[in-house]
A and B are shown apart, each in its own frame.
Chain A
Amino acid sequence: MQALYGQLVVGLINGSFYALLSLGLAVIFGMLNIINFAHGAFYMMGAFAAYFLLNWAGLGYWWALLLAPLMVGAVGVLVERTMLQWLTGLDHLYGLLLTFGLALVIQGVFQNEFGSSGLPYAIPAELRGAQNLGFMFLPNYRAWVIVFSLVVCLATWFVIERTKLGAYLRAATERPELVRAFGIDVPRMITLTYGFGVALAALAGVLAAPINQVRPLMGADFIIVVFAVVVIGGMGSIMGSIVTGFALGLIEGLTKYFYPEASSTVVFVIMAIVLLVKPNGLFGRTA
């Protein structure tokens, strides 16, 4: 039983990353109708940004939590301005292909520079140590990951679903021409949305750095699981991605306890079932 609780907590930690990443994908998809294949690469860049800040500028974890998303988000803005915007009007699959190419370039460059093994990134002093929960030792840092990502997810949901800015965003998704008629600069909004989604990925990267180490391929395989999470949740629903992310983390944890062999496939099996029963995903709107 102890081990079950332990695996559930570990599942919840993984779920935090699923939620943060699928949230970013959902935000981008909602606005640009693009599946951002480079999301895993931006997640990795977030971790590297934290590493650079620490080793080149002497800025620790807390600064990284603030600066890394801004830096990587700026890269995202650049990418949208120089590349993605030229795809407007083309089939959305081109966006997938372009960001796939982008992911190869980014990961390749980092692999050339840093090899494919991990660079260590220390846990910040304030979050070292662990709590004895009775059934397991929960390292403080991992507890922090769960809490912090939950806060970020809910804040994002609030901004998009409950504020005026969010209302513009949602409106621009549905009827871009109409919003433009109100005098709102839709292309800029698209750019900033992409930058924001990318920044969320980078934030997840900073959070992951002390757990997963800083590795050029840390996002490469991980992002495929997140894609499955997005397909399960249905794209375009903010709350849907958050809930699905955490839930699938928990389910993975359960699987690790009851049948560890299936823990890496369970997300995909669930995806197949959801596709059979509800092709638009659990929270998806019918297209």
Chain B
Amino acid sequence: MQSRTITALLAAVAATALTVGSATAQDNKTVRIGNLSDQSGLYADLGGPGSTLAAQMAIEDSGLVAKGWKIDVIAGDHQNKPDVGTNIARQWYDVDKVDVIVDTPNSGVALAVNQVTREKNKAFLNSGAATSDLSGKACSPNTVHWTYDTWMLAHGTGEAVVKSGGDSWFFLTADYAFGHALERDTTEVVKANKGTVTGAVRHPLNTADFSSFLLQAQSSKAKIIGLANAGGDTTNSIKQASEFGIVAGGQKLAALLLFLPDVHALGLQVAQGLTFTETFYWDMNDQTRAFSKRFSERMKNKMMPSMVHAGVYSAVLHYLKAMEALGGNPGDGAKVVAKMKEMPTDDALFGKGTIRADGRKIHPAYLFEVKKPAESKGPWDYYKLVATIPADKAFRPAAEGGCSLVK
């Protein structure tokens, strides 16, 4: 009997808590941002602590704190394991009152977090993950895919390589969602341009010794070895390819995804001549230079921002603008994301842009080439611009992605 009264009492308390919660929702000016990233592994340099800083800078630049908002960022390490990522996301949403998760490189983790975010009706602003499924098959009203994706990489880099004569390909693919998506999207591009794909070898995420995979690629006799991997995996495969005389033997490497920290780690001597696609480079104009200077001064290792960091900054800034427009935190992720899609984006790093119904952020992409050591004028002067891909050509047309939000 007594236990039943206690249960009833608890239920009543819970019910009051709920109603109180909803009554104050509109004037709730508290926002908590969670940077769920690889904080210590092979993607830590391109996302990781830099993304926390980028989010922090966006909060400062939004000017909302001066208007009485309370906004903070917490960081979590998903260790590139989807189950760890899901656990953190769930706990952040359930217990720690996180409203939005940002960054999240590693497509496998991102797809999992995408799902949890939708279930809990929060928001997910992805900058670090590549898989184009985030705005395709797996699209969600709670998710915006900000910076880049595999379709963009495949069309930017892949097309350029095939058109310059690299018409037979062999892939060295990171064996998880990201690598598979990048290999798939690039294969389509190669075939559409009358090229052939002779095969692929899959390597585990975070591999150190690529020798046996490289030998397989070598014996394929393909003209181009497409690296469908990222971060430390890409830099390792490029270094070892030169060790095993693959480039000297006449085959070419196509790094489908290369970030600024990767080029920095490789050094210009090894990296020179690589062509690849990104959507942000620190040395584009005065505004990007000013942001990057501020950013690198606050980074522990004085690193310049990667495009993932830039994307986190820009995404958080726009998210907070939408919050302000709503007049408070409604505690409803889909509502905020809908508002974000409604408002045009405009910031110092990516310029003017939009967010499509499928959650794809639209902006131009750039085909870069790594400079020769002699061309570089100073530290971090690594890229030269080869071509600009206009915003309307850079990303997959909404109708082709298979997203259920697109009618």
A contact set with B: CB distance below 8 Å: 2-3, 6-7, 10, 13, 111, 115-118, 120, 123, 130, 132, 136-137, 139, 142, 211-213, 215, 218, 253, 256, 260, 263
A-chain residues with CB within 8 Å of residue B45 when the two chains form the complex: 117
A-chain residues with CB within 8 Å of residue B232 when the two chains form the complex: 117-118
Which one, A2, A211, A218, A260, contacts B201 given CB within 8 A?
A260
Q: Would A213 and B215 count as touching, CB distance under 8 A?
A: no
Q: Would A212 and B209 count as touching, CB distance under 8 A?
A: yes
A-chain residues with CB within 8 Å of residue B79 when the two chains form the complex: 116
Chain B residue nearest to A130 (CB atoms) is B245
> Shortest beta-carbon distance, B58 to chain A, in Å?
25
A-chain residues with CB within 8 Å of residue B42 when the two chains form the complex: 116-118
User: Residue among A111, A117, A142, A260 with the most chain B CB within 10 A?
Assistant: A117
B-chain residues with CB within 8 Å of residue A123 when the two chains form the complex: 243
Q: Would A13 and B211 count as touching, CB distance under 8 A?
A: yes
Known: A117-B206, A212-B209. A137 touches B219 (CB 8 A): no
Which one, B40, B243, B249, contacts A111 given CB within 8 A?
B40
Q: Would B40 and A115 count as touching, CB distance under 8 A?
A: yes
Q: Mark B239-265, 1 if CB is under 8 A from A, else 0.
A: 000011110110000000000000001
Q: Would A213 and B208 count as touching, CB distance under 8 A?
A: yes
Q: Would A10 and B44 count as touching, CB distance under 8 A?
A: no
A-chain residues with CB within 8 Å of residue B201 when the two chains form the complex: 260
Total B residues in contact with A, Cβ cutoff 8 Å: 27
In the docked arrangement, what's the CA distance between A215 and B211, Å? 17
Q: Would B215 and A7 count as touching, CB distance under 8 A?
A: yes
A-chain residues with CB within 8 Å of residue B16 when the two chains form the complex: none
Which one, B44, B216, B248, contacts A115 given CB within 8 A?
B44
In the docked arrangement, what's the CA distance between A116 and B38, Å? 10
In the docked arrangement, what's the CA distance between A132 and B245, Å? 9
Known: A13-B211, A260-B201. A139 touches B236 (CB 8 A): no
A-chain residues with CB within 8 Å of residue B328 when the two chains form the complex: none
User: Residue among B40, B201, B215, B248 with the most chain A CB within 10 A?
Assistant: B215
> Shortest beta-carbon distance, A203 to chain B, in Å?
18
In the docked arrangement, what's the CA distance between A260 and B214, Å? 13
B contact set with A: CB distance below 8 Å: 39-42, 44-45, 79, 201, 206, 208-209, 211-212, 215-216, 218-219, 231-232, 236, 243-246, 248-249, 265
Q: Would B244 and A3 count as touching, CB distance under 8 A?
A: no
A-chain residues with CB within 8 Å of residue B219 when the two chains form the complex: 2-3, 6
In the docked arrangement, what's the CA distance between A139 and B249, Å? 14
In addition to A3-B215, A130-B244, A137-B248, 19 A-B residue pairs with Cβ atoms within 8 Å of each other are A6-B218, A6-B219, A10-B211, A10-B212, A10-B215, A115-B40, A116-B42, A117-B231, A117-B232, A118-B232, A136-B215, A136-B244, A137-B249, A139-B243, A211-B208, A218-B208, A253-B212, A260-B201, A263-B212
In the docked arrangement, what's the CA distance between A137 and B249, Å? 9
A and B contact pairs by CB, cutoff 8 A, 28 listed: A3-B216, A3-B218, A3-B219, A10-B212, A13-B211, A111-B40, A115-B41, A115-B44, A116-B79, A116-B206, A117-B41, A117-B42, A117-B206, A117-B231, A118-B208, A118-B232, A123-B243, A136-B244, A137-B245, A137-B249, A142-B211, A211-B209, A212-B209, A213-B208, A253-B212, A256-B212, A256-B216, A263-B212
> Shortest beta-carbon distance, A57 to chain B, in Å?
22
Q: Would B40 and A139 count as touching, CB distance under 8 A?
A: no
In the docked arrangement, what's the CA distance between A118 and B393, Å? 37
> Shortest beta-carbon distance, B238 to chain A, in Å?
12
Chain B residue nearest to A13 (CB atoms) is B211
B-chain residues with CB within 8 Å of residue A137 when the two chains form the complex: 244-246, 248-249
> Shortest beta-carbon distance, B377 to chain A, in Å?
25
